[in-house]
Amino acid sequence: MRKLLSLLSIPLLLYSCTPESADYNGTVEGYAPVYVSSATASTISVEPARAITKAGKIYVHGTYLFENDVNKGIHIIDVSDRARPRKVAFINVPLSTEVAVKGNYLYTNNLDDLLTFDISNPTAPVLVKRIDDVFPMPNQNYPPFTGVSFECADPSKGVVVQWEPKRIKNAKCRR
């Protein structure tokens, strides 16, 4: 996360930002950055079970199922009675996208950091370790495609966690 914050303070890398030829509505197909404020990006907490908002990667271990809620955290689900799965907790981990388990420990990412949780009590996971800069984050300045228009990134809005397809008006950036 430290590296991430320092990156944010670096001026934007110079990628050609040239006006795009727009259609008669003044909009083009392109990409827009999705932000999360850097202040909340590393705040971890254990919360009561909740509904899935954006279903992500899954991992099964013993009688428990773990589902990543994309960019939000990990649902811990007791499936010992398969017909009546029961969510027992939600680990709030902003910007998480990965999950794996070995023994009583769960690994996930908090954007670019690797976190280890003790889940010996699955209803009350405990963060036991954070290792910086294990995972890559999306490029902060441009989407992972070429020949596309995009909304120019604004570091003051926070961390870019994703580039989503969008019709954009008056696109100023292109690569």
Chosen residue from 27, 34, 35, 98 binding other proteins by CB under 8 A: 98
Ranges within 16-55 binding other proteins (CB under 8 A):
51-52, 55
Task: Give the shortest CB-101-to-other proteins separation in angstroms.
Answer: 5
CA distance 7 to 140: 9
Residues pairing with 169 in the sheet: 27
Chosen residue from 18, 104, 123, 170 binding other proteins by CB under 8 A: 104
Please count the helices (runs of H) and the strands (runs of E) in the chain: 1, 13
CA separation (Å) from 40 to 6, 15, 44, 171? 16, 28, 9, 29
Chosen residue from 36, 46, 65, 88 binding other proteins by CB under 8 A: 65
- List, edge to edge, every strand of the sheet that includes 27-36: 159-169, 27-36, 149-150, 173-174
Is residue 99 a contact point for other proteins (CB under 8 A)?
yes
DSSP category for residue 104: T
The 10 Å Cβ neighbour count of residue 92 is: 17
Chosen residue from 59, 88, 152, 175 binding other proteins by CB under 8 A: 59
Question: Which residue, 10 or 131, is less far from other proteins as judged by CB?
Answer: 131
Is residue 114 a contact point for other proteins (CB under 8 A)?
yes
CA distance 161 to 48: 25
Chosen residue from 13, 40, 47, 129 binding other proteins by CB under 8 A: 129
Question: Which residue, 39 or 147, is less far from other proteins as judged by CB?
Answer: 147
Is residue 101 a contact point for other proteins (CB under 8 A)?
yes
Ranges within 74-93 binding other proteins (CB under 8 A):
75, 77, 79, 82-85, 87
